[in-house]
Structure 1
């Protein structure tokens, strides 16, 4: 314990250096902006800024890149709440209740709870990174390809459980999402799959194209068929910018539970933060006394996933800093940044460069504090956007979305693909299909395929490897039980009652 305090003191002395505070603030600001602007992903931003870090001190460069990563988790909730467009893959679930709160005039409370939940989760997760880094990493080491594949299956079953309407429709959405994720070049051979000889599809379809289409453009098309009065997002007066005392009481439990779930899932490679946000939402809905409130503006539906995805974003640094294993694409770029500065990621960082290791951990706490200071005063600014008339707001959203999509690959084809997904998303809403499971399956698809292939190669083609490995078998067992429960006639009838439109 004494060593921990001594190490944290070293970390804060490094992080509190004026240069490092400046880098931390810059990372937090850029991250928030990345999250707020639809289409500009964290991976693309970190990749673009990587060359800039050449001339920066190693600690400052890594503190800035880390700030961009967890700052984007904050910013992603803003567009989810205001205009039903997830800024990040982790914010897809926040759309479900956050946007409904905005329509009821409670966007301020939703954004404030998202910021408070993220801050609490970030602080707790940072303490976990400091105290439990090595023990938690040993747990992550127990997971091989078979376990990761089974974990992602469980994540997809969570999406089925929380989807509105019928279970078969939710499963259909997941299968479609997995199929869409396979478009592009084969991971092993490089051969084109389902590209129809269209060169632009050789790299696959981007997440931004799918998310913008089925959430953003489809929302705009849906609004076009409404009357002029009902088009505006805001359906009444704005009911206060800050959460009420009751909101804070209702959110406290979900924030704590989301933090615990996110912290555990964040250390696992793959879509840890994405699975964490879906799992936290599902869990809250399962234990709620009135689950019918979810999807209609329940503040718990904003608090839990936002806490979970931010906690997962912080604890994903554990395998990177202690083992040198990047758990996701952003962390892989962080490995690149460390290599640029001659730092070998892994266990030796903690002993050979303690100021880097502990300085980064301390900077996470300072970064979370900065993000709350940045985001809470901006709640009023973001909410005031809802007062903008529909005829001005939605064309502006389309323009910004198109610019964001185009800027990723400088490809007009990406804008056309997003437009096609917009029409498809509108069709889905008319036929009561939920797009969230499709997006989750699309994000997890490539990771599932990679781990499935690796597991089968290691097992020499023996498919029973998923049942003979204990952790994998338990995860698959839980998935089957959850699916069976969701399919039971009694539960299905209750689902239909819960999700019936008022």
Structure 2
């Protein structure tokens, strides 16, 4: 406990600088804004803004990107409650009872309990991240090359299974991503691979370029083909602070949602969305009046909001301790760390303690900022819904071009972003999920590195990958996950999910 307190104090001493506080504030504000505006999302936003962080200190850059991610979970609840338009998929459940409360003149209380639940859950999740960091990092430091190879295989397997649509389509996207990770200079010999004689590809595919095109530009193209619908409310009804009765009714839901979200967030997959749905189902099951859910039950707002905010922060645990991104957004954050010279994984705590504990401590400060700055700005956020999307997208594209060009000053990077934007749009139209491709691009290089290190240490023998119990356990778990995903019930649910996206 003493060590944990000392580490957190180190983190606060790092984050409580003018630059890092400012970057944390920018991240929270941008995250809330893109959470309010439906159709953009934290993944596309981080992809777009990643190049703008290259000039910043690595700690400040990751603090800002983290603020964008968990700030979006908060912002999504605002429009879900006020205008029944969830800005984030994790806020879909919040709209069920939150908007019902708004129609009853209790929008202020719904917004207030969402803010309180988010802050409590975020504070709890910060302690979970801090408590699990050192034990998991020590465990990871003892892993051999064979163990890491099996861990990467498990991560790639989860990328296939947790994607939407058919397994075959997810597998194809993953293989494309892994192949793209092999393009460029060989890690050991420096020899060009799969470049077809092009000097542009010698350094491989930049994750920022790929992500900005597949998720940023492609998302703009998707939104432009949709009819513009921007509902607007003029006022927020009622007080923003829940009374004692509201807090008594919500206390259990906040506690259960925080615990549930913290656990689900560590598991690879879309933890924030899954945890909010799971929390809503749980609260309806344990409620003495389940018939009130969907009609303005305050527990239906408190539980899911606590769950998705807790999950959004514990999602950082696998990335920072094992180097294993559990979602596409975490893959982008891991890519940003790598571009800043910090390799995600167990050595981050030892080699970059200021970055690790600074990011962890910034989560608590960021959650406090979200409560303080956002309740007074609710009216401002909702007014952004009046801005037509055809006026927003030129600004977004300009940011993309300026940001990516400022990194290497190469016009080819801008052209590649445009090309990947068209590819991403076509992938969406063909009902493929690009998320496995991005995870394959990130994990593919790590998979190759672990494979080659294992073969070098074992002098070319593959026995090293099947001789250790932990390696066999991880590979067996990957096989079980693939086999179970082939069951007819699960396959049907994946197809339904793909049709709903």
TM-score by length of 1: 0.66
Q: CA deviation at 1:66?
A: 3.7
Structure 1 counterpart of 2:259: 256
TM-fit CA distance, 1:151: 2.1
Per the alignment, residue 293 of structure 2 pairs with none
Alignment correspondent of 1:74: 67
Whole-Å separation in 2 of the counterparts to 1:361 and 1:477: 34
CA RMSD after TM alignment: 5.2
Q: What is the CA deviation profile of residues 53-100 of structure 1, one whole-angstrom value per residue up to 9, with x for unaligned ones?
A: xxxxxxxxxxxx5454233212146679999xxxxxxxxxx9972597
Match of 1:186 in 2: 186
Query: Cα offset for 1:277?
Result: 5.4
Measured against aligned partners, the alpha-carbon deviations of 1:423-449 in whole angstroms (never above 9, x if no partner) come to: 111211111111111122122222222
What residue is the counterpart of 2:456 in the other structure?
457
Shift of 1:113: 6.7
**Pairwise CA distance, 1:213:** 1.6
Would the alpha carbon gap of residues 369 and 189 (structure 1) be closer, same or farther in structure 2, given more than 3 Å must change?
Answer: same
Report the alpha carbon displacement of residue 487 of structure 1 after superposing the two structures with TM.
Answer: 1.3
Question: Once the 2 structures are TM-superposed, how far is the Cα of residue 390 of structure 1 from its aligned partner?
Answer: 2.2
Deviation of 1:392 (Å): 0.6
Counterpart Cα distance in 2 of 1:252 and 1:166 = 36
Structure 1 residue aligned with 2:102: none
2:91 touches 2:305 (CA, 8 Å); kept in 1? no
Rounded Cα–Cα distance in structure 2 between residues aligned with 1:117 and 1:77 = 10
* Structure 1: distance between partners of 2:75 and 2:355: 37
Distance 1:146 1:316, change over 3 A: same
Q: Is residue 15–residue 362 contact of structure 1 (8 Å, CA) maintained in 2? A: yes
Q: 2:365 maps to what in 1?
A: 367
DSSP 3-state at the match of 1:190 = coil
Q: Tell me if structure 1 keeps the 8 A contact 2:264–2:311.
A: yes
The change in CA–CA distance for 1:366 and 1:181 in structure 2 (over 3 A counts) is same
- Measure how far apart 1:398 and its partner are: 1.4
Q: CA deviation at 1:173?
A: 0.8
2:55 to 45, 48, 51: 48
For the 8 Å contact 2:264–2:275, the answer to whether it is kept is no
> Aligned in 2, Cα 1:477/1:69: closer, same or farther, shift over 3 Å?
same
For 1:405 and 1:145, locate their aligned partners in 2 and report how far apart those are by CA, in whole Å: 34
The Cα shift of 1:103 comes to 12
Q: How far did 1:459 drift?
A: 2.6
Displacement of 1:279: 6.2
TM superposition shift of 1:414 = 1.1
- Summarize the Cα distance change of 1:366–1:481 in structure 2 as closer, same or farther, 3 Å threshold: closer
1:396 maps to which residue?
395
CA positional deviation for 1:235? 6.7
Deviation, 1:189, is 1.2
Q: Distance in 2 between matches of 1:151 and 1:238?
A: 51
Counterpart Cα distance in 2 of 1:448 and 1:76: 26
Residue 268 of structure 1 corresponds to which residue in structure 2? none
Q: Cα offset for 1:154?
A: 2.0
Q: Structure 2 unaligned segments of length 5 or more: list them.
A: 35-44, 77-85, 100-106, 283-299, 324-332
Could you tell me whether the CA contact under 8 Å between 2:170 and 2:436 is conserved in 1?
Answer: yes
Change (3 A) 1:34 1:177: farther
Identify which range, 384-393 or 422-431, moves more after superposition.
384-393
Cα deviation, 1:280-335, whole Å, max 9, x if unaligned, reads 76788899969xxxxxxx99999767644533547877799xxxxxx967777999
Q: CA deviation at 1:455?
A: 2.1
- Matches of 2:214 and 2:446, distance apart in 1: 22
Whole-angstrom CA distance in 1 between matches of 2:213 and 2:241: 31
Instruction: Report whether the alignment pairs 1:168 with 2:168.
Output: yes
Q: Is the 8 A contact 1:212 1:418 kept in 2?
A: yes
* Equivalent residue runs for 1:292-331 within 5 Å: 307-308=310-311, 310-311=313-314, 313=316
Give the corresponding residue for 1:427. Answer: 426
Instruction: Give yes or no for contact 2:14–2:358 (8 Å, CA) kept in 1.
Output: no
Structure 2 equivalent of residue 222 of structure 1: 222
The answer to whether the 8 Å contact 2:29/2:68 transfers is yes
| Aligned 8 A contact 2:28 2:64 in 1 | yes
Which residue in the other structure is 2:40 paired with? none
CA distance, structure 2, for counterparts of residue 180 and residue 18 of structure 1: 37
Tell me the TM-score normalized by structure 2.
0.66
In the other structure, the counterpart of 1:203 is 203
Residue in 2 aligned with 1:8?
5
1:33 and 1:72 in contact (8 A); partners too:
no
In 1, Cα distance between the equivalents of 2:278 and 2:203?
38
Indicate if the aligned counterparts of 1:30 and 1:71 stay in contact, CA closer than 8 A.
yes
Q: How does 1:8-157 map to 2 (within 5 A)?
A: 8=5, 12=9, 20-22=16-18, 24-29=20-25, 32=28, 38-39=46-47, 45=53, 48-50=55-57, 66-76=59-69, 97=89, 120-121=121-122, 123-126=124-127, 129=130, 134-157=134-157
Instruction: Work out the CA distance in 2 between the residues paired with 1:361 and 1:81.
Output: 18
374-383 vs 464-473, which deviates more? 374-383
SS in 1 for 2:462: coil
Conserved? CA contact 2:50–2:208, under 8 Å: no
- The residue number in structure 1 matching 2:80 is none
Q: In the alignment, which residue of structure 1 is the partner of 2:37?
A: none
Judged with a 3 Å threshold, the aligned counterparts in structure 2 of structure 1 residues 358 and 186 are, in CA distance, closer, same or farther, namely closer
CA shift digits 1:156-193 (9 cap, x unpaired):
22222232221101111111111122222111111112
